[in-house]
Structure 1
Amino acid sequence: MAQKKAKAIAGPASQAKDGVEWELASQWAKGWKFLKWSVTALIVIAFFVVIGQGFLYYRMFDDVHPGLGYAYIVILALILGILVGRPLISFLAMPVAARPPAIVIDPKNPDPKALAERLKYDLKYLKMLDANPLVAEERPAIAEGIARGRALLDRAGRATNADALMISADLEAFEKEHIEALLKPLDKQVESLIHAEAVGVGVATAVSMNGTVDAFIVLWRNANLVARISRIYFGRPHLMGSLRILRDVAAIVVVSRALEDVTDITGDVIGGLLGRMGGLVAGPLMDGGINAMMTLKLGYLAKRRCRSFKGWSAGQAKAISEEALEGVKKESGSVVTDLLKACGGLTSHAARATEKALAGSKSAWGLVQSWFGGGKPAGA
């Protein structure tokens, strides 16, 4: 008994160092939670600011005539219903994909039960792929994969720890040959779609000169992007995963509206340094580039959720976010290049129009001066 008490007393003293580490981890967790709630609060505030902008337009039309105010609300609701509501309904109408289990398989010492659990999910996933119209031509290969997966599952159910290592290698080869190979064409379609939508959002928001219009464009294009990704994979995440995707869309819309003022200020500063045309081009291009990058990240996160082949857990959140950022880095140069090419023609037209307008105004002013004898003396 005395020995037990002595051990109980000695324990905390021996874990003092660990206690400090846990205290630091606790403080970090509290700080991270505070940061997340602060960002959420800012998004909510900015959301109400966007709503306020729409209300200001309503008041502007209502001051002219109450009928115009009601007409504005009806037209806005119809536009939102067609361009935003329809893709969201299409997204929610997709079948809920099988939820990947958060299984960690140790490559050196795999657990046979974990292998069997993963194989059960692989079979569910193959059945889900079998229902996808985009891979209808691959149904014989899918049937073959299901047969092989069942045989492998039977082996895993009877396996001992000594057999688990070989089954783990067979499982990895099975997933590459019978699942990843089927997903590669779909992945290419989704990545091409994400790239095109990012460039489209960037160009549209660079050309637009109004933050509220920018927010509407970003909402429309991002909602459409999510819906099309879910159609390609023929599935969407479960309820919480779908709500998180929609939350990401809402956050990007709000941020795109809030960044309008920042890019305008940047354009003014650059305009002061490089001239008026430099400012007119730099601000909108920066706005379009930021919106394009945010669309890229949303696309890769939506791809990861709708693809639903790998597990998504709190422990994997950091790796998933890094994976999405890697995708953004990989595509960012190409997207910005395409954005500049698309906007280059517009900005050159704008520059030529400005030069013509300035030249025309100078000619007109010179003509007026000649009427009143106000010409400049020679050599001035």
Structure 2
Amino acid sequence: MTERVPPRRPATFKLTDPSVVLIDSDESSASSSSSAAHATASASSASSSAPPPRARVQLAQEKEPPIVAPKPPASIINPKKGFRWGTLFWSAATGLVTLAFWLWVSKLIEDLFAQSQTLGTVGMVLAVLAGGSLAIIVGREAFGLIRLARIEQLHARAAKVLETDNRAEARAIIRELLKFEHPNPQLARARHTLEKHLDDIIDGADLIRLAERELMTPLDIEARVLISKAAQRVSVVTAISPKALIDVLFVAIAATRLIGQLARLYGGRPGALGMFKLMRQTVSHLAITGGIALGDSVVQSVFGHGLASRLSSKLGEGVLNGMLTARLGLAAIDLTRPLPFNALPRPQLGDLVKDLMKKREKEE
């Protein structure tokens, strides 16, 4: 008959105690099989011998499970990797039109030479001038589209650095931004200040904020002035114009001109294709953000100036057209500004409306 070992009483101990021994979990499982035999022997000898020394405490270290990186979820919709027939069609059609135009020009020059040597020479010179001008126009359009794409990339990369605080990426963005804004003499002092403190800041997000404060502050002030003047101009012209068609045309021309001015202010040089792209992106931005609708702050500021009783008049229509122009300008800033708004406050439509209403009250 085996003798039951009394349970051990609760006790406190320190990890620095010499009697505390740390063992692996494998060793603890191996020693657990022999603990019963040792317990029986110690219990039998406890009554006959002197008090035993302090028992040794064994602590088993649990092994942490290996960290397994989660697998990315499989794509629900597999992208189509087939041949793009639309691209082939438009490429082939463009090539045929180019060949047809070249054959027509060459046949025209041959006919001119057949008629007279002078006519042929004049036709050849005109063809060379037209071809050279077309090449320059295409190059300028491509250059403008490339600069707009660089602005979009800088904006996206800076927004990501503000989240990740990557110093190396922030330094690369600032160097590229300094080269991008180098032709602007208005930012010479800001560029010098930014270059001087480039190595003194450790955090990448702080570098982006410093670049925004130094480089974007004068540009934002001038952008607000441009938007305010365009909105006031639209408000005055549409308030006195007799036809609604004139109002629509003038608002469209003023908005296009304003977007081009803002793009050139922040470093972009859009051509015809670039302006078309910016107009499309601006309208899309307004549709996505719901910017065409008036916010509560704007409505309060407008009605606070007594416009509610005059909305049916021509003056009210002019003010609303000016507000729409200002909203288009604010949307264009978000698309043409190379850095996102973080350290500086974003221009608000309510402030521009207040300036517009003050201008209208002075004219009255």
Structure with the bigger percentage of helix: 1
TM-score (norm 2): 0.44
Q: Which has the larger radius of gyration?
A: 2
TM-score, structure 1 normalization: 0.43
